[in-house]
Structures are given as structure tokens and as C-alpha cells.
Amino acid sequence: MDGRPTDELTWHRGKPCDGGACVEAAALDEAVLLRSSLSPDGATLTLSRDEWHEFIVAAKAGHFDAV
């Protein structure tokens, strides 16, 4: 990754985002970073582009509906 601080990235929220408690995602090089909108300076989760793609496919297929 290029070492930019996470506050310099463009973060995106899903729609809808109820009450500001949202997952935010940002692209950085060959990775996708995830964070909580309630704690933007807290921990981030880093996924490869392949992992991100597999997560999106599984979510759209309903694999996480029971969570």
C-alpha cells in the first residue's frame, strides 16, 4: 500500500446508512479498506481485491442474511 493516512482516502458508505452506524469502504492500491463510520480513527480491516469481490458475491447471494 502507498502509506497514505486513512483520512486522505475517499470513503464510501452503503445505501441506506441508518443513524450513521455504517460500514465504510475505500480503495487503496490493490486493497479495499473497511472501517466503522462510528469510529473512523479506529481499526480498519484490509481485504485484497479478490477477497472483497468474494465477499460482495456472497453477500448478494444471501450468505450473511442470518448474521
**Quick one: pLDDT at residue 58?**
97
Q: When comparing pLDDT for 56 and 1, which is higher?
A: 56
pLDDT in tens, 4-54: 566 789 999 887 777 778 999 999 999 999 999 888 888 899 999 999 999
pLDDT range class, residue 3, cuts 50, 70, 90: low
- Tell me if the pTM is above 0.85: no
* Cell 466503522 -> residue: 36
The set of cell numbers assigned to 58 is 456472497
Q: When comparing pLDDT for 63 and 5, which is higher?
A: 63
Q: Give the contacts of 31 (CB within 8 A, at least 6 positions apart).
A: 1, 46, 47, 48, 49
